[in-house]
Amino acid sequence: MSALDDLIAAGRALVDAGLSPGTTGNVSVRDGDRLLMSGTGTRLGSLTPDDIAILTLDGAIVSGARPSKEVPLHVAMFARNPEHRAVVHVHSPSTVAVSCLEPWAPHTAVPPLTPYSLMRVGQVPLLDFVAPGDRAMGDLITDCPLLFRAALLANHGAVVSGTDAATAVDSTIELEEACRITLLTDGRQRRLIAPEQVAEITTRWGTPWTEIASVS
């Protein structure tokens, strides 16, 4: 499929998974020396070629629909993970809810409760709040000293990158599930995956994780 087809399919998959209600969220795909991005105010489940903005890699508009105000978020994620070809940003219920809580640890808002989020995304830092559309949103991504392929934006939602659009969508779905489990176990005595097992899983799957002292 073309990059355009991949982007349209990704939008539909996010809506089918219940992660993009109404006109929320946006998706972008890298296509050579340009970015294709869902336009502002579009419904991700019913994107057409007319709904897509074409941008340079630094976010300048080339043609097509008016892009989302969160272009800096996408540009920064591609710059951080240059081998990745897709970025997803959603306001899904569980990621938003966890983004409104204090993070589990300095390096990740999501504790190691299941192997699947470790395999898909690894650590998920919580970035400071800035208003949607503020160019400082890109700076938060760029300036974070941690390695990551997914992050929570405080009181806002999630941003995830992947090697292709389908991978970015699958990782976003897994992150939503990890956040849902985080909420279900909040305030209870959790049984976490042991640090040495976390290290083994993330090393095997090539996902980022910062080794820390035990946290409960």
Q: Domains in the chain and their CATH numbers? A: 3-205 (3.40.225.10)
Active-site pick, 70, 174, 177, 196: 70
Nearest CA-CA partner of 35 in 91, 76, 93, 92: 76
Contact in structure between 30 and 86 (CB atoms under 8 Å): yes
* SS3 of residue 37 by DSSP: strand
The values of phi and psi at residue 118, to 5°, are -65, -40
Calpha distance 48→40 (Å, rounded):
13
pTM equals: 0.94
pLDDT at 40: 93
Dihedral angle, C-alpha 98, 102, 106, 110, nearest 10 ° = -20
pLDDT at 214: 46
Nearest CA-CA partner of 23 in 8, 10, 38, 37: 38
For residue 5, count other CB atoms closer than 10 A to its CB. Answer: 12
How many CA atoms lie within 13 Å of 133's alpha carbon, on the beta-carbon side?
A: 4
CA 145 to chain centroid: 17
pLDDT at 135: 87
The values of phi and psi at residue 88, to 5°, are -120, 135
Active site (annotated) includes residue 70: yes
Calpha distance 146→210 (Å, rounded):
8
* SS3 of residue 80 by DSSP: helix
Per-residue pLDDT of the chain (216 residues; tens, 9 = 90+): 799 999 999 999 999 999 998 889 999 999 999 999 999 999 999 999 999 999 999 999 999 999 988 999 999 999 999 999 999 999 999 999 999 999 999 999 999 999 999 999 999 999 999 998 888 999 999 999 999 999 999 999 999 999 999 999 999 999 999 999 999 999 999 999 999 999 999 999 999 999 764 444
pLDDT at 22: 86
Active site (annotated) includes residue 116: yes
Active-site pick, 83, 102, 116, 200: 116
